[in-house]
Amino acid sequence: MSYLLRSEGCNISELDKSVASRYTNPMNWTFLAGAVLAVVLVFTSFVTSEGSRALFNVHGVIVVLGGTLIAMLISYPMLQILSTLKGAVSLFLRVRQPAAEEVVAEMSRLARRAQTEGGLLSLQGESRDFADGFLSRAITVAIATGESHATRSILEAEIRQLRIRRQEDANLLRTMGTLSPMFGLLGTLLGMIQVLETISTPAKVGPAMAMALSSAFVGIAFANIVCIPVAGQMRLRAMRETMLLEMILEGILDVAAGQPAALVELHLVGYAEGRAPEAAAPAPAGAEAPV
């Protein structure tokens, strides 16, 4: 990667310094733009529509949001709900997560140091904050086991557990996206009962019907503007995080095997380029997309 960066006019030493310092990835601006546009769209429709109060009446909001919350409390433990909430909030924040180029640069630096200062043992205590400490743990495991197969098995198990947790976070939001329209329909049915009770009074039928249909609107809007898009963003972030951790795993195995820094760079660059299309490929129709 260093020779590729130099060919494009980048200074690898500056990149190494940026990696060694506390890194921060930029926010997902498309997600933020979509969230802002959604708020503007809802607000504009609320202000300009004469029936805006009927669209967002208390009956519909309570049935949809309250029913969805109750269903989540019944279906999931509180720790899982809090984990999903934390993950959703983090989409609006800057995340301390390295880019693929930073992973390659850091692994190349560690490979050079291992070659010049006595092998893997010289890396103890290095990169404690890199990738939330995963690189430091990978170095410790590689030193403790002294064998590539055991190192790979332990670290792959940790990556797999992290991927499962991230998948459960996204699945909770997908479940909310499935249930909220159903609770909207339930609110509509409750409203229709009120319509039938007032059918003998024509003046009350119209408002009652509007209130009944508004529950379906709230449920569908909540699912398609909030739950499903946020779940998709969490899935994409989890896929990227998994790729970075797998790059670190491969890099540590190369360093432990005594590979020179140039070969470590070539391996990780090829690994990242080979994984990127796979991560970006859409899931087959009718199949659940993996995280």
- The residue that leads in pLDDT, 264 or 38, is 264
Q: Cα–Cα distances in Å, from 197 out to 39, 62, 213?
A: 36, 21, 16
pLDDT at 272: 67
User: In the predicted model, is pLDDT for residue 4 greater than 60?
Assistant: no
Q: Label residue 279 by pLDDT band (50, 70, 90).
A: very low
Distance CA 63, CA 59 (A): 6
Report if pTM > 0.85: no
**Percent of the residues in the chain that have a pLDDT greater than 90, as a whole number:** 26
pLDDT at 156: 93
146: left (phi over 0), alpha (psi -120 to 50) or beta: left
Q: Domain locations in the chain?
A: 13-277
User: In the predicted model, is pLDDT for residue 271 greater than 80?
Assistant: no
User: In the predicted model, is pLDDT for residue 69 greater than 90?
Assistant: yes
pLDDT, one tens digit per residue, over 196-214 is 887 877 777 777 787 778 8
Number of CB atoms found within 10 A of residue 171's CB: 18
Work out the mean pLDDT of the chain and round it to a whole number. 79
* Residue 258, both tokens: 């005594």
Per the CB < 8 A criterion, the answer to whether 255 and 114 are in contact is: yes
Per the CB < 8 A criterion, the answer to whether 243 and 100 are in contact is: yes
pLDDT at 180: 94
- The residue that leads in pLDDT, 50 or 282, is 50
pLDDT at 284: 43
**Percent of the residues in the chain that have a pLDDT greater than 70, as a whole number:** 77
Q: Pick from 99, 116, 133, 114: which is nearest to 253 by CA?
A: 114
pLDDT at 49: 60
Lowest mean pLDDT of 17-26, 55-64, 240-249, name the range. Answer: 17-26
pLDDT, one tens digit per residue, over 16-35 is 444 333 344 555 667 777 77
pLDDT, one tens digit per residue, over 207-237 is 778 777 888 888 998 999 899 999 998 998 8
User: In the predicted model, is pLDDT for residue 283 greater than 50?
Assistant: no
